[in-house]
Structure 1
Amino acid sequence: MQLVVLGADSPIGLALIRDLGRSGYAVTALGRKMSALGLVSRYCRTPLKRAADGEPLIAQLLELAAAGQPAALLAISETDIAMLNRWREPLAQRYNLLFADATQMAQVLDKRLTQQQADSVGIATATSWQLQTLAELEAVAPQLQFPLILKWANPHQVSALLHGAGLTLHKIQYCRDLAELTACLTPYQAIGHFPLIQRYYAGHGLGQFFLCREGEALVCFQHERVHEWPPEGGSASLCKTAGNHLHQACAERSKALLKRLNWQGVAMVEYRYDPATAHYVLMEINGRFWGSTPLSLCAGANFASNLVKALALQQTITQPQIKARYCRYMIPELKRLWRIVVQPGLIKDPQCHFNKAAEIAAFVGYFFHPRCRYYVFAWDDPAPFFADLTQALNKSGNALLRALRLQKLGNKS
């Protein structure tokens, strides 16, 4: 079977390519640049630069899959999945489509719909407020307890509006008081839409990951975030496996939620977990491969190859044995350490406190941890690491040159 991976530019795509290649599949991968991480991997049989989004890309994908020959298509980003779903019918004539359809994605992209489904199976959800106008803030202000966070109910519905208004699409914004909340919300009057105001919950990220076939979980895996970027909470820069004997009651509710959605394919159910109170609060469902896919690969979960076996080949899947592993995403790890040590004033959560010496010692210590692996570097496939390093150095060098030019212009003026 020919396997095509759309989205070879990130560590997620790289992990999929490594998983499939190590499992013996011939992988064709598409990236935005030929230097993309996944395209330089030894496990990518056919590296290709992807065509422009829309009809050119669809034509490229249709051309890759010969009529009558078995092929499967994997996609990573929500943006790509939404685009592919608009051409789902012609693509389905050539490919086994190993990503959720538009109806399923709509159920998980809208956080209000997700909360309604979660409530029905007994999952605690974050207390949220949705404003229609900024004037409504005055009415809800007495109910608010700071700090608060802002996040979009469905980022894809507003991304074009934000771009047109010259506004940045923030995954999360932290607000420490009413004045900061008002300042963050005010620019969104220009588009007539506002992000959810959500209560802040202590703890750290817990991700529960599943491969489902018609709502039944075939493969289960979970991780806890050890470090996050930004440090006050975000995506994982260092994460660790959590054995399936842990968080069992929570995992059963997650399975019930995906069964209710009749989920097909991979999904991540993400919680904020507070070890001090053993309290779990649902943050969102990612109906796609997740940022920490490299951890699940090095722990032996092999979601990509099991996805092919389960949905494209209709094979029986057995739950793999999960290895205890840590996994680091080094560029966010460096940014996190820099923020904690050099820029602590930029950490917006006043409840976050770090011991700088301990953080430096831990950063160095993980290089020698026998169970620690990396999002990009792998001994059997080193080329992506050097490509990533080269791109990071080029980006830093260009930023430095811009800063020097601006300084020179300032001195002249």
Structure 2
Amino acid sequence: MKVVVLGADSPIGLAIIRDLGRCGFAVTALGRKRSALGLVSKYCQQPLVRAKDGEPLLQQLLQLGQLTKPAALIAISETDIAMLNRWRAQLVLHFKLLFADDAAMATVLDKSLTQQNAAAVGIDTPASWQLTALSELGEIETQLQYPLILKWANPHQVSALLQQAGLPLHKIQYCQNLQELNACLAPYQAIGYFPMIQRYYAGHGLGQFFLCRDGESLIQFQHERVHEWPPEGGSASLCKAVDNQLHQACAERSKALLKRLNWQGVAMVEYRYDPGHKQYVLMEINGRFWGSTPLSVAAGACFASHLVKGLASQQPVKQPDIKLRYCRYMIPELKRIARIVLQPDKIMDPQCHFNKWSELAAFMGYFFHPRCRYYVFALDDPAPFFADLRQAAQKMLQPLLRRLRTQKIVHKG
């Protein structure tokens, strides 16, 4: 079976292409430019620049579907999945669609709905409050324990409104007291929507990943975040594979949650894990491929190839043996160490404290760690690494080139 991958621009797409190519699938990949990471991979048999979003992209996909039968279609980003789901009735005539439909995505994108489903299977969820007006803050003031964080129940629903109002879309905001909470919430009166207020939980990220068919787990994998960007908590810049024998009770509850949702395909159930208190608090469900997909591939949990085998081809799927690897995403890792060493005052969470010298030593040490792999660099497929270096250099040089052009124009004037 041939596989079309929409989203070859990121390390996620690159990891999926490598996984599929190494397993013998013929991969057609679409990226926004010819130098996209996945398009320069040797495992991409047919690299294509994707057409403009909307009708041109639909026609491009339909033409591919007619030429490459039988074929499976994998989409990576939530934005692309939402767009493709609008055309689902047309695409399903040509592809095995290996991403969740609109109804399934809605159940996991809405964090309040996710919490309801999680509580029903015994998963601890963050203490949360949702305001409809700023005046309601006084009614819950006595229930609040600081620090608190603010996060949107469904960022996709408010992103356009925030943009129209000239407001940034924050993934997380930290509030240490009522005055800060008021100050953070007040600007959102302009759009009539407010982010969820959540209690802060100590710990680090624990991700549990599953491939499901009709709600039943076929394979599973888990990781813990060692480093995050930003340093106080965010996406993984360094993560490690964890033996499936650990966190077993938590994994069983995650499976029960996905069974309750009758999940089809890949999903990540993400927790804030406090090892000191053995506490697992659900953060969210990602109903798609996740940021640390390169780690799962390096560890032998090849979700993309198993997804095609198990759901598109209906072949038996066996739980793979897990190699206990580390994986680094170097650009966020560089940002993280720079923030800790040079800009510690910009770390938003005052509960987070880092020793810059030990962090520097650890940063250098992982270059020599025998079990450490990388999101982009791979010995058997080096071209994406050099493409990434070129793009990073161009991005760094752009401001300098703009200044030089401005100075040249002023000088001529």
**Common fold: TM-score over 0.5:** yes
Output one character per residue of 1:212-255: Cα deviation in whole Å (capped at 9) or x when no partner. 00000001000000000000000000000010000000000000
Distance, in Å, in 2 between the alignment partners of 1:68 and 1:361 is: 50
SS in 2 for 1:66: helix
SS in 1 for 2:244: coil
Report the counterpart of residue 233 of structure 2 in structure 1: 233
TM-score by structure 1 length?
0.96
- Which piece of structure 1 moves more, 29-38 or 183-192? 183-192
**Backbone CA RMSD of aligned residues:** 1.7
SS in 2 for 1:244: coil
Displacement of 1:56 after TM fit? 1.3
Is residue 2:27 matched to residue 1:27?
A: yes
Structure 1 runs not aligned, ≥5 long: none
Report the counterpart of residue 274 of structure 1 in structure 2: 274
The change in CA–CA distance for 1:359 and 1:403 in structure 2 (over 3 A counts) is farther
Displacement of 1:319 after TM fit? 0.2
Displacement of 1:408 after TM fit? 11
Output one character per residue of 1:7-58: Cα deviation in whole Å (capped at 9) or x when no partner. 0010000000000011111100001111111111111111111111111111
Output one character per residue of 1:329-364: Cα deviation in whole Å (capped at 9) or x when no partner. 000000000000000001111111111100000000
Distance, in Å, in 2 between the alignment partners of 1:352 and 1:68 is: 51
Aligned residues: 410
Displacement of 1:140 after TM fit? 2.0
1:98-247 to 2 correspondences below 5 Å: 98-247=98-247
Is residue 2:248 matched to residue 1:255?
A: no
Report the counterpart of residue 366 of structure 1 in structure 2: 366
Contact 2:2 2:68 in 1 (8 A): no
- Aligned AA (1:189): Q
Contact 1:329 1:376 in 2 (8 A): yes
- Aligned AA (1:85): N
Displacement of 1:405 after TM fit? 8.3
Distance, in Å, in 2 between the alignment partners of 1:402 and 1:174 is: 35
Contact 2:71 2:96 in 1 (8 A): yes
Report the counterpart of residue 75 of structure 2 in structure 1: 75
- Aligned AA (1:153): A
Report the counterpart of residue 329 of structure 2 in structure 1: 329
Displacement of 1:136 after TM fit? 1.5
Distance, in Å, in 2 between the alignment partners of 1:12 and 1:267 is: 14
The change in CA–CA distance for 1:33 and 1:319 in structure 2 (over 3 A counts) is same
Displacement of 1:67 after TM fit? 6.6
The change in CA–CA distance for 1:342 and 1:403 in structure 2 (over 3 A counts) is farther
Displacement of 1:138 after TM fit? 2.4
Displacement of 1:66 after TM fit? 1.5
The change in CA–CA distance for 1:219 and 1:389 in structure 2 (over 3 A counts) is same
- Which piece of structure 1 moves more, 202-211 or 50-59? 50-59
Displacement of 1:118 after TM fit? 0.3
Distance, in Å, in 1 between the alignment partners of 2:249 and 2:404 is: 56
Distance, in Å, in 2 between the alignment partners of 1:186 and 1:122 is: 35
Output one character per residue of 1:177-222: Cα deviation in whole Å (capped at 9) or x when no partner. 2222222222211111111111110000000000000000001000
1:280-359 to 2 correspondences below 5 Å: 280-359=280-359
Identical aligned residues as a percent = 75
Report the counterpart of residue 45 of structure 2 in structure 1: 45
Displacement of 1:167 after TM fit? 1.8
SS in 1 for 2:66: coil
Distance, in Å, in 2 between the alignment partners of 1:174 and 1:307 is: 38
Report the counterpart of residue 88 of structure 1 in structure 2: 88
The change in CA–CA distance for 1:162 and 1:407 in structure 2 (over 3 A counts) is farther
Distance, in Å, in 1 between the alignment partners of 2:403 and 2:253 is: 51
Distance, in Å, in 2 between the alignment partners of 1:402 and 1:243 is: 49
Displacement of 1:60 after TM fit? 0.7
Structure 2 runs not aligned, ≥5 long: none
Distance, in Å, in 1 between the alignment partners of 2:277 and 2:403 is: 47
Displacement of 1:139 after TM fit? 2.2
- Which piece of structure 1 moves more, 146-155 or 204-213? 146-155
SS in 2 for 1:65: helix
Displacement of 1:406 after TM fit? 9.1
SS in 1 for 2:219: strand
Distance, in Å, in 1 between the alignment partners of 2:57 and 2:408 is: 43
Distance, in Å, in 1 between the alignment partners of 2:244 and 2:68 is: 41
SS in 2 for 1:320: coil
